[in-house]
Amino acid sequence: MKNTFFALVALMATTTFTFAQDKVAGAAFKFENEVLDYGTIENGSDGNRVFKFTNVGTEPLVITNAKGSCGCTTPEWPKEPIAPGASSTIKVHYDTKRTGAFEKTVTLESNATEASKVIKIKGVVNAPAEEHHEGDGNNH
């Protein structure tokens, strides 16, 4: 009985130590993916994507700003603090009327241990199905 009790106490201490190691002092992001690949998509298709993250820190995480690398990339972020252990999302909209390959960034400013965090989107937008070219003899 005594051996079982000591084994149980040792297991609990090890488990507690292991979980404590997963926590970061302060606030900290842990993203499911830091790069979202749209793949090859059609012109004008849905440009919305979602980054999922968890605050793996010991303090509430506060995102003060999120900025896309150009006007074609628009982020939305939670305005309320994210409690330790809680999860949330960053929504990103890319203007899919821009044809061709793209790789854009969103820079997050926060109180996290890494105060400036960069996440990325990438993909390829196909040309519109029917493009009208002036002077090609076709009046559409």
Confidence class for position 1, pLDDT limits 50, 70, 90: low
For 121-132, how does the pLDDT look when each residue is reduced to its tens digit (9 = 90+)? 999 999 998 754
CA distance readout (Å), 76 to 41, 47, 62, 89, 106: 22, 13, 14, 9, 10
Per domain, the residue ranges of the chain are: 23-125
Higher pLDDT, 70 or 133: 70
Q: Has domain 23-125 been given CATH number 2.60.40.10? A: yes
Instruction: State the residue for tokens 């012109």.
Output: 43
Which residue type sits at 32?
E
Distance, CA of 27 to CA of 84 (rounded, Å): 7
For 34-92, how does the pLDDT look when each residue is reduced to its tens digit (9 = 90+)? 999 999 999 999 999 999 999 999 999 999 999 999 999 999 999 999 999 999 999 99
pLDDT value at residue 5: 52
